[in-house]
Structure 1
Amino acid sequence: MKLLIARVSLILSLLLPAYFMVAALGVKFGLWPWQFGLMTLIVQFGLPLIGITLLLGLVALVWTLVRKPRTGWAMALVGLLIPVLALGYLASVRAKSADIPPIHDISTDIVDAPVFSAKVMAARQAMSANPVNPMTAPMGSLDAYKAPDFSKIAALTLGQVGHKAYPAVRTLTVAADPARTAAAAQAEAAAQGWTGVTTDPATGVVEATAETFWFGFKDDVVVRVRPGAAGGSIVDVRSTSRVGLSDIGANAARIQKFLTGLKTRLAAA
């Protein structure tokens, strides 16, 4: 009997990662909406499933160690470790999200932020995506942040919240001329794996869409290159998620990675 429980514990634990992968990839490939994949399959059902698997693994491990002959404990141990690791990962994500503001729109320039083209805005509107709000708008004036839970940031503007949370996300000044910088920005956007990369040479604007691997969440990115001092360029980037309230820092990380890659690319040219 104890070997059976150990085997069942191991099998369920091995199926646990597969369950979460299916939940996420189902969103990516359009099998179900992201709300169902994330909120229902993962949050509502996934967390209890981890708990049940964890409890079963613990019972199996104790039983196999206490009852002689002490066989099957290795299976039970693996059956316990997998849900423990899953809980550890979810706890780390929760801790990370608690330390950053629940925003999904980040820009290097919060006074005169880059703007998306009519084409991108139409694509966002077609899928009822998050609104693209002015970076100068007070958080308390935005529909998504009018609840009492957001009272601490209500008086700050969207841009101020982003800059306070991500001090490294700032305007980049480079020595390269605007034409060269825009070309490098287009190449770097493609190198980052972004899709639909387009460039408007007249305005120095590069636009693209970044997509997450598991859920296929799409974030729109706009890069603006302007003339700087002594023939150089000023580069600003804005990255905005189409769905979800909090991006858990994804947009800020994307901007930083892009700007680092752009600097490296210009230095190597």
Structure 2
Amino acid sequence: MTGTGRAGRGGGIGMRWLVLTVLAAPLLVFIAVLGTRFGLWPVAIGRDLLTLQIGRWLALAGLAAAVLAVILALRDIRRLGLVAVAALLVSLLTVGLYVRQQAHLAAAAALDVTTDPADAPGYAPETAALRTALRAPDAPAACPDLAPVPTQVASETATAALEGAGFTVRKAGLFQSEGVREGFWFGLRYDAVIRIRPGRTDVRVSARDDRPQGDAACRLAQDVVDRLQAGR
């Protein structure tokens, strides 16, 4: 075997290991999500440990591996160039998503939000008892630009607004509707209640978990309000 052949084979093996390093973080997140959704481990392991801690370091290691892959590919552009570019793009996307997610989670935002902080809508007794048992956030706060609907909406409109925002309706009445929403990735849950009064309809959305979740509660509450407005 010639020296060129040995170098080429060695470069191919090295490239495989670098590509595997690049893919480690995305694969870990995939496994973490599946394991959490199927109950193999709690959110504390799947989200907090595997995804947000270990996965972040693997993403940085993947970026370093991608840079090395590009350098290695310079020795054989025709055979290794495309693989190296693909690895670099995947690593940049992975790190970019982590940076974006970190900024999102670091944003100071309430986990329990409402259109009426002074007189927040209350949950049904069974929901309130469950939230107390879970030690869920219970300090209703305002969100930027989140305002009540200045009319008494129909109960059907309230139900449709909750369902349209991804909530499963658990209670529907003339003056109040409630629902619960389970997040797609790690199953984090939010409760929502719509209180209907003459001339005004208020909304409250509250996380069941006190983990930092960015402005998710505000976005969900705004979504419900927008759907109520559209259904008037």
Q: TM-score, normalising length from structure 1? A: 0.76
The 5-angstrom pairing of residues 15-30 of structure 1 reads: 15-30=24-39
Offset, 1:121: 1.9
- Aligned partner (choices 106, 127, 136) of residue 130 of structure 1: 136
Tell me which residue corresponds to 1:114. Answer: 121
Shift of 1:236: 0.7
Equivalent-residue separation in structure 2 for 1:103 and 1:188 (angstroms): 22
Q: Note if 1:209 corresponds to 2:180.
A: yes
Aligned pairs for 1:24-103 (under 5 A) are: 24-65=33-74, 67-68=75-76, 70-98=78-106, 100-103=107-110
Gaps of 5+ in 2: 1-9
**Distance in 2 separating the partners of 1:107 and 1:37:** 30
Kept in 2: contact 1:208–1:222 (CA 8 A): yes
For residue 148 of structure 1, what is the aligned residue in structure 2?
none
Candidates 163, 170, 173, aligned match of 2:150:
173
Two-structure CA RMSD over aligned residues (Å): 2.0
- Partner deviation per Cα, 1:53-74 (whole Å, 9 max, x = no partner): 2222211111111x24653121
Superposition deviation, residue 24 in structure 1: 2.3
Structure 1 runs not aligned, ≥5 long:
136-158, 229-233
Question: Larger deviation: 241-250 or 22-31?
Answer: 22-31
Instruction: Give the drift of 1:187.
Output: 2.0
State the 1:14 CA deviation: 3.9
In the superposition, relative to structure 1, how do residues 37 and 129 fare at CA in structure 2: closer, same or farther (>3 Å)?
A: farther
What is the SS of the residue equivalent to 1:206? strand
Q: Distance in 2 between matches of 1:246 and 1:40?
A: 14
Verify: 1:255 aligned to 2:221, yes or no: yes
Tell me the SS of whatever aligns to 2:118. Answer: coil
Contact 1:106-1:240 within 8 A present in 2 as well: yes
Going from structure 1 to structure 2, the CA distance change for 1:79 and 1:212 (only over 3 Å counts) comes to same
> TM-score normalized by structure 2?
0.87
Q: How many pairs were matched up? A: 223
Residue type of the alignment partner of 1:26: G
- How big is the shift at 1:120? 0.7
Q: Deviations over 1:121-146 (max 9, x none)?
A: 232344x242423x4xxxxxxxxxxx
1:174-253 alignment to 2 at 5 Å?
Answer: 174=151, 178=152, 181-201=154-174, 204-228=175-199, 234-253=200-219
1:29 CA drift (Å) = 2.8
Q: Deviations over 1:2-53 (max 9, x none)?
A: 1222233334434532321221232233221111112211122111211222
Is the CA contact 2:205–2:217 (under 8 Å) kept in the aligned structure 1? yes
* Partner residue, 1:140: none
Q: Structure 1 residues 253, 62: CA separation in 2 closer, same or farther (over 3 Å shift)?
A: same
- Tell me, yes or no, if the aligned pair for 1:2 and 1:60 is still in contact at 8 Å: no
Preserved contact between residue 116 and residue 222 of structure 1 (Cα < 8 Å): yes
Letter of the aligned partner of 1:130 in structure 2? A
Report the CA distance shift for 1:131/1:167 in structure 2 as closer, same or farther (over 3 A). closer
Which residue type is aligned with residue 53 of structure 1?
G
Identity of aligned residues (%): 28
